[in-house]
Structure formats: structure tokens, C-alpha cells
Amino acid sequence: MLPIYKLTINDNDETGVDYNAFVDTPAHLKAFIAFDKSMPYKFKEEQRIVTGVMMSANTLIYRNSPDIGEHQVFFDVATIKQIVLKFFKNSFGNNVNKMHNENDKVNGAIMLESFFIDSKRGINAPIEFSKQNLQDGTWIASYKVENDQLWNEVKSGKFQGFSVEGIFDRIQVNIKTNNKQKMNKKEVSGKSLFNLIFGKSKFEDVPVTEETVSSFAEVTSIDGTVLTYEGELAIDAPIFVIDENGDKLPAPALDYQCDIDGKTVIISVNESGLVSAVEDVIVEEAEMSSDLKEEILSEVAEVMKSTLEATFAKIEELTSEIKKIKEVKESKFQSEAKTGVKEVAKMTANEILKNIKN
């Protein structure tokens, strides 16, 4: 998994967003919608209004920089609000260019509206964004496009979304892992998840309602990454990783091998942090062909034959050496017997006693 950094700004320096670009592929991969007579709302005339995601809260964005190489970044809710406030305080709302090209600035694109998604306040994204997995805190804006060339480029599909530009600080974030790699599915209620993140004492002051109790599941991939999701593990379901502070981030776009209910599965996650596939891993034992069996048996027989031949040759060599040593010892014994090794005379008991007395 690539390193993950949270982008931040400081109110007292040059960090922040100063321009918005119309781009072909926005970094957050959230396309905008253009309200005109081709849209389902069937306006009587072109509205020339384009609505899109300016900053997607807690969405991982791929980056590759010379200093730290490949990595991913994200903006949390608090930072997005801080950025937007500084953006409007500096009157940057109508600062627009194309493809982040400072030499291709656009006049005639006026920011018409700006809001944050906030489900608790009933502020939601337009229905066309329903499949983009937008989280609370996401910044959405609309532009009234009076520039004819830009509007034609939007309608032709040349530009697909917004992409802010600015200067940011970054803080590396560590993702929660399970080093013991216990990969069984773990059900977590909304209450226990709250306790896990904030501590039991804080939860005691919060009444348990239907909204605070929900069913989460945790699974750990083979590399130790802890994944969590609500409800069923199904296609297009949001799935998250948890950072060291207990905050949820959309899971990076990867294939995660997990053990769920005794089965090994691959959970595929797309760039929007949604489950794109859940596939069982089936290990099939390849049947060995008869030709391959004969070839292996032949090679084994040859190896055994050569090994046995070498072993027998060594045994014969050792037997011959033992025989030679035995012959040398027998020859030496016979030689000593012939050169007059004196035999000890046999004596009776009386003779022995007589010798002692003398």
C-alpha cells in the first residue's frame, strides 16, 4: 500500500486554494454535471450552469512527487472547511483556468453556489452524484458559464470536472493494521465502534438511538490491513480503512485477500472506495499428465540407479580394503610364530610349590 498523507493549510501563510481548473480528469475522479436542455430536467433553454465536486472529503488521491515518490493524499472535513473559508475571504471564487495552465485563464465563469454535503442538516449532493460515494464535508460548487468557448468545451465532453489548485502542507497518516492477521469477520455495532474510537466514558452521555446503532463488519487482509464496511459486503458498497486516530478513509484501490467465514476471498476496491468485486479463491490441483508422470519416474529411476551403483562400488572398495588389512595381520602373526616365540612350559602344582620353597 502506498504511503498516505493528509493535506492541511495554515491561515497565516500562503497555503490554501487560489484557483479552480476545468479539467478532463479531476484528481478526485468525481465528474461534474452540466444543466442544459440535454439533461433529464428538460429546461426550456440552456441554463449554462455546471455543477461539480470541488473537493471530495476523505477521498484518496494518487500523487507522484520527486521528493517522496508515489503516495496518496486526502483532505479531511475540517481542512476542507478551513480551505473554503480562506478561499472566499481572499475573493478567489471566480479564479478559473483550464487544465491548471496559468496561461489559460478563463473570464466569464462565475461561481453561482457553493455548499458542503451535510446529511444531518439535510444538505445532500444532487441525485446525479448518488453513485460517486461522496462523504459529508464534500465541497460542491456551481458555475454560471458565460464564456461561449468554455461552455462548448463543457458540452462536448472535453472537460469532465473541477480540480482545485493551491499550496498545502502534508502529514503522514498510519493505517490501522492487525499484525496478528486474524482474518475472521468481526461484527461491530455502532455503539462499540463509538467506544473504540472515542472511549466508553464519552459514549455514556450519548443516548443510544436507532441512528447510532448500526452493524459494521471488520475483516483483515493477508497483509494486515483492517477493512470495515456497513451492512452486507456487496458490489458498490463503500468500504473503509481506519487511521491511527480512528477516522475512516475510503479503502485504497487494491485487491485485498481476506479470510471470511473460513473462505478465502478477494475483495476488489475501485478508485471511489467502493467494492467492485468479491470473488472466492478456488485452489485447483492440476492433474498430472501420463507423459509427465513417465518422464518424472524415468528421471527418478535414473537418479536411483546411479546412486545405488555408486553405493555398491563404495561397498566393494571398503570390502577390499578390509580384506587387505586382515591378510596383513594374519601374515604378521604367522611370521612371529616361525621366528621362535618361546612357549611357556607347563608345570604341576608340586613343582610350583617346590620352586617357591627354594
pLDDT in tens, the chain (358 residues): 889 999 999 999 999 999 999 999 998 888 888 776 555 443 345 789 999 999 999 999 999 989 899 999 999 999 999 999 999 999 999 999 999 999 999 999 999 999 999 999 999 998 888 878 899 999 999 999 999 999 999 988 899 999 999 999 999 998 888 765 443 444 444 444 444 444 444 444 444 444 444 577 888 888 888 898 888 888 888 899 988 888 888 899 899 998 888 788 899 998 888 898 988 887 665 566 777 778 888 888 888 888 888 888 888 888 888 877 777 766 665 665 555 544 445 556 566 556 655 5
pLDDT reported for residue 44: 43
354's grid cell: 617346590
Instruction: Tell me how far apart the alpha carbons of residues 252 and 342 are, in angstroms, rounded to a whole number.
Output: 101
Instruction: Tell me how far apart the alpha carbons of residues 171 and 71 are, in angstroms, rounded to a whole number.
Output: 12
Q: Residue 189 forms beta bridges with which residues?
A: 215
Please, what sign has the CA dihedral across residues 143, 122, 253, 232?
negative
Degrees (nearest 5) of the Cα angle 273, 274, 279?
A: 125
Nearest to 15 by CA among 138, 121, 148, 168: 168
Instruction: Tell me how far apart the alpha carbons of residues 252 and 274 are, in angstroms, rounded to a whole number.
Output: 9
Instruction: Tell me how far apart the alpha carbons of residues 50 and 211 are, in angstroms, rounded to a whole number.
Output: 34
Q: What are the distances in angstroms from CA 67 to CA 4, 60, 64, 160, 172? A: 14, 19, 9, 30, 14
pLDDT reported for residue 346: 54
pLDDT reported for residue 214: 56
Instruction: Tell me how far apart the alpha carbons of residues 118 and 116 are, in angstroms, rounded to a whole number.
Output: 6
pLDDT reported for residue 193: 41
CB contact at 8 A, 48 and 145: yes
- Cβ burial, residue 108 (10 Å; 0-12/13-18/19+): middle
CB contact at 8 A, 33 and 107: no
Instruction: Please name the residue that has the C-alpha cell 502534508.
Output: 170
CB contact at 8 A, 29 and 99: no
pLDDT reported for residue 19: 95
